A and B are shown apart, each in its own frame.
Chain A
Amino acid sequence: MLSYILRRLALALAVAFTVSVVSFMLLRLSGDPAAALAGESASAQDIEFVRKKYGLDRPLLIQYAQWASRALQGDFGESAFFKKEVREILSDRIWVTLGLGGMALCFAVVVAIPLGVAAAMKPNSWLDRLALTIAVFGQAMPSFWFGLVLIILFGVTLRWFPISGSDTLAHMLMPAVALGYYATPAIMRLTRAGMLEVLASDYIRTARAKGLRPGAVLFKHGLRNAIIPVVSLASVQFGFMLGGSVVIETVFAIQGVGFLAWESIKRSDLPVVQAIVLMLSTIYVLLNLLADVLNGVLDPRIRVH
């Protein structure tokens, strides 16, 4: 078990490192960051000044090494817009985004797993068809548009929820639904497929033959085994949702990392953008690692592989 975890950890570190290199290079090579920082009306001298000030005149590899070694110590430099430490700006906002992501995931799981189980209990029933229809429709809805429709419907017409900001739990409800529904189809499909497979297995037949109550068969023997791949999918989806928060936070003007990323991209505040890309991808890698380890604990067969 320990060697399995160590191997996964090494892989996760390698992935995180590569992502940091790729995203750093991508952002540096896509344009002239000094010109972007200096603004449109800047003269050639201004641009040179900015280039020197932020060390953008040095070779790329050295720039990366400096940035990475500081980032490892939690120092992401100074925001060009806020004139404040990037770390300070992010430490307030990350909790808003994690909270939003958590609520969104809760929504997705609460809707998807019961629907998936119900659909698997009676394949091709009306409930199964309904679940499938929800899945197909859900995947086709643009999230930003869904968010706006929620605002018009529940914020303006019915006045049930506040339409923007992130002060209270009520503020977060609509954004969480708008962000979470996108993960619902995938989780539901996997739950349904897993349950169908498990329910057809020998040990379920045995459990039924022993005369166990149907509920116990379904949940203790069935769902517990079918849920294993769902757990890892859910953690991966959580990572995707943090990325998707850029769109939803912008729609609802939530002061989280996603909204900050969008604003910073628009004002070419590169240190902030780089820090957010690194942070979101690191969280994703960690979640994947967690899912792998959790899977190894839940299903001993995986460890040997």
Chain B
Amino acid sequence: MSNSLKAENGSILLEQQLAWDRLLIWRRILGHRGLVLGGCILLGIMGLAFLAPWIAPHDPYAQDLERRLVPPFWHAQGNWTHPLGTDGLGRDYLSRLIYGARISLLIGISTVSISALIGSFLGILAGYFGGRVDWAVSFMIMVRLAMPVILVALAVVALVGGSLQVVILVLGFLLWDRFAVVMRASTQLVRSADYIRAAQAAGASTLRILATEILPNVLGQLVVVITLEMARAILLEAALSFLGLGVQPPLPSWGLMVSEGKEFMLFTPWVITIPGVALFMLVLAINLVGDGIRDITAPETRT
């Protein structure tokens, strides 16, 4: 009787403790200015991208050659029909910007899904097994780092033909290096921990240990790298599209918008400032979220 009471008390205490911990984590998250700011911007952009068909004022592909290069609303000649003006083909800039968010986010998420899978797989194997596996993976990382990313991506996209899928695949298979480096290091750290040895002694299979003991403990690091690499992929896609060897017109990629605006930029600078600022905000937001998660999960690694 008293035993069960104690156990009940214990579980209530545990629950209280957990609730308290959760509250503390939320306080830490909300107390982190960078994380809150980045999270808000990111959620805002994601919302715009998701709701694009409902909030975009015009069809992003509809050309109107009589209304080319209309300036944005803050300009003397601007008007509210086209709040951010129009581009060189008379397409509504705000609508293209909103649809462009979809491309950047899609590139970031898909690329990182591929590269995180490749890189974490290699990194965890290298960190857990060490020895020859580690040597082989480290060699692969060195080779990958020695290849100039932009150049190789440009050449492959040019040969295969530019499209959204090709850009995602090429970047996904090129950007796994940081995942491998970080996952290798953090796996090495937890490999010799007591709970791993306990699992080994209990006869758990290697696969089981990797999946249920190692992976959850390196997840915090993984999330941080995911944000960093997502930002990198978005910037690279923009650069490739800017150079004409990425996403192809008429898709409203932000990099492509800068590229198309380049010929008018001396007289109508907003055609490149607007998509550039959008790119900057998105990447900044993702980086802020990443830095924030790192500060909260592992404050001691902040540099």
A→B interface (CB under 8 Å): 11, 14-16, 18-19, 22-23, 26-27, 30-31, 33, 36, 136-137, 139-145, 148-149, 151-152, 156, 189-190, 192-193, 236, 239, 242-244, 246-247, 250, 261-262, 265-266, 268, 273, 276-277, 280-281, 284-285, 288
Contacts and interface: CB of A to CB of B under 8 A. Distances in A.
20 contacts: A14-B139, A22-B147, A142-B258, A145-B276, A145-B279, A148-B258, A149-B276, A152-B265, A243-B149, A243-B151, A246-B154, A246-B243, A247-B239, A247-B242, A247-B243, A265-B245, A266-B244, A276-B151, A284-B148, A288-B142
Given A26-B152, A276-B151, A136 B288 contact: yes
Interface string B132-174: 0000000100110111111110111011110000000000000
Summarize A's interface: helix, strand, loop or mixed: helix
B94 interface: no
Interface residues of B, number: 44
B276 A27 contact: no
Interface string B247-269: 00000000100100010011001
A281 B273 CA distance: 34
B287 A148 contact: no
Contacts of A142: 235, 238-239, 242, 255, 258, 276, 279-280, 283
Contacts of A242: 148
Contacts, number: 139
Nearest to A141: B280
A136 B239 contact: no
Contacts of B231: 139-140
Nearest to A21: B143
B284 interface: yes
A22 B243 CA distance: 24
From B150, B238, B245, B279, residue with most partner A Cβ within 10 Å = B150
A66 B143 CA distance: 22
B245 A277 contact: no
Contacts of A190: 303
Interface of B: 34, 139, 142-143, 145-152, 154-156, 158-161, 231, 235, 238-239, 242-245, 255, 258, 262, 265-266, 269, 272-273, 276, 279-280, 283-284, 287-288, 291, 303
A185 to B, nearest CB: 10
A294 B32 CA distance: 40
Nearest to B269: A152
Contact of A243 (B150, B159, B242): B150
Contacts of B284: 136-137, 140
- 4 tightest CB-CB pairs across the interface, nearest first? A243-B148, A31-B159, A30-B159, A193-B303
B154 A148 contact: no
Contact of B272 (A33, A136, A145, A247): A145
Nearest to A148: B272
A236 B177 CA distance: 14
A268 B273 CA distance: 32
Given A137-B284, A142-B239, A26 B156 contact: yes
Nearest to A285: B146
A12 to B, nearest CB: 9
A27 B159 contact: yes
